[in-house]
């Protein structure tokens, strides 16, 4: 790999731009696609440029069939926005960071969102809806509300539900969520929108401690991201007649 490609790869990643690198596995020649710009020895090669553009679109890396070209996409990190600088957030934030998420915590309450409680994390101290709008959640963003306080959680949820975030979850019991549902309906949201909320947040793994709850939320977020099938499958159909071979 040429130094100019490595430098541009790192520069693009730092600026959180999506990048595609094409390598001819036989010759070692490469092409880097960064925005509309290409660089490298394969620049100008129509097959390589088309492969790079397609890969950025599908966000998939891999070898091209019947070809010596390999294309690797470098997508900007997934984002997680946590509303509520609460105890569970203190566990969820480092776990999600480890899983590769770029994490922001929103909490207008200064005492909660202190640097001491959340070192090395971006903290937005605006009101949740405004702070979330400023972050412009896209389809590579997850939003999790943890405050238990409707006047903080609801505005964030309404903002999130009007966007394409791939995972939206709200902490709180089934009863809490039933009341939340009524409030969101009254606020003008539709049933289908509200149904996007994972509530109670997290997979049902019997989590108790803040760290365990964080694990269950991160697991559910991962399942939503990767399109995992439901954990509990429907019962298989009964055999047509008794004694039929399995």
Partner 1 sequence: MSESRMSESRMTGSPHYADANEVLAEARRWLDEGRSVAMATVVATWGSSPRPVGSQLIVDERQNMLGSVSGGCIEGAVVQEAGSAMKDGKPRLLTFGVSDEDAWSVGLACGGSVQVYVEKLEG
Q: How far is the CB of 54 from partner 1 (least distance, A)?
A: 15
Q: How far is the CB of 77 from partner 1 (least distance, A)?
A: 8
Angle (CA) 103-107-112 rounded to 5° is 100
d(CA 119, CA 35): 33
> Is the CB of 27 or the CB of 114 nearer to partner 1?
27
> Is the CB of 70 or the CB of 127 nearer to partner 1?
70
Three-state helix/strand/coil letters over 9-29: HHHHHHCCCCEEEEEECCCCC
Q: How far is the CB of 87 from partner 1 (least distance, A)?
A: 21
> Is the CB of 29 or the CB of 148 nearer to partner 1?
29
> Is the CB of 15 or the CB of 185 nearer to partner 1?
15
Nearest to 86 by CA among 145, 131, 158: 145
Q: How far is the CB of 30 from partner 1 (least distance, A)?
A: 9
Residue numbers of the site for partner 1 (CB under 8 A)? 1-3, 6-7, 9-10, 13, 23, 25-28, 61-63, 70, 72-74, 98, 100, 120
Q: How far is the CB of 45 from partner 1 (least distance, A)?
A: 17
> Is the CB of 54 or the CB of 148 nearer to partner 1?
54
> Is the CB of 9 or the CB of 149 nearer to partner 1?
9
> Is the CB of 1 or the CB of 195 nearer to partner 1?
1
49 is written with which tokens?
A: 């440029």
Q: How far is the CB of 3 from partner 1 (least distance, A)?
A: 5
Q: How far is the CB of 72 from partner 1 (least distance, A)?
A: 5
Contacts of 234 (CB under 8 A, 6+ apart): none
Contacts of 238 (CB under 8 A, 6+ apart): none
């Amino acid at each position: 790999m040429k130094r100019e490609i490595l430098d541009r790869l790192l520069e693009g990643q730092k600026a959180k731009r999506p990048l595609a690198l094409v390598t001819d596995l036989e010759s070692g020649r490469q092409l880097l696609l960064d925005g509309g710009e290409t660089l490298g020895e394969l620049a100008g090669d129509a097959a390589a440029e088309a492969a790079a553009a397609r890969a950025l679109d599908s966000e998939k890396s891999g070898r091209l069939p019947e070809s010596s070209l390999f294309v690797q996409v470098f997508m900007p990190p997934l984002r997680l926005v946590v509303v509520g600088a609460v105890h569970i957030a203190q566990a969820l934030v480092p776990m999600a960071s480890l899983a590769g998420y770029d994490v922001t915590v929103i909490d207008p309450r200064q005492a909660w969102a202190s640097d001491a409680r959340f070192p090395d994390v971006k903290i937005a101290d605006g009101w949740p809806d405004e702070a979330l709008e400023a972050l412009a959640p896209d389809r590579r963003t997850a939003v999790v509300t943890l405050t238990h306080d409707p006047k903080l959680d609801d505005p964030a949820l309404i903002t999130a539900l009007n966007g394409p975030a791939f995972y939206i979850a709200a902490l709180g019991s089934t009863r809490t969520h039933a009341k939340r549902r009524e409030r969101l309906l009254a606020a003008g949201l539709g049933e289908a929108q509200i149904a996007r909320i994972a509530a109670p947040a997290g997979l049902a793994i019997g989590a108790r401690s803040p760290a365990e709850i964080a694990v269950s939320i991160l697991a559910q977020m991962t399942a939503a991201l990767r399109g995992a099938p439901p954990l509990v499958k429907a019962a298989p159909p009964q055999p047509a007649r008794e004694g039929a071979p399995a």
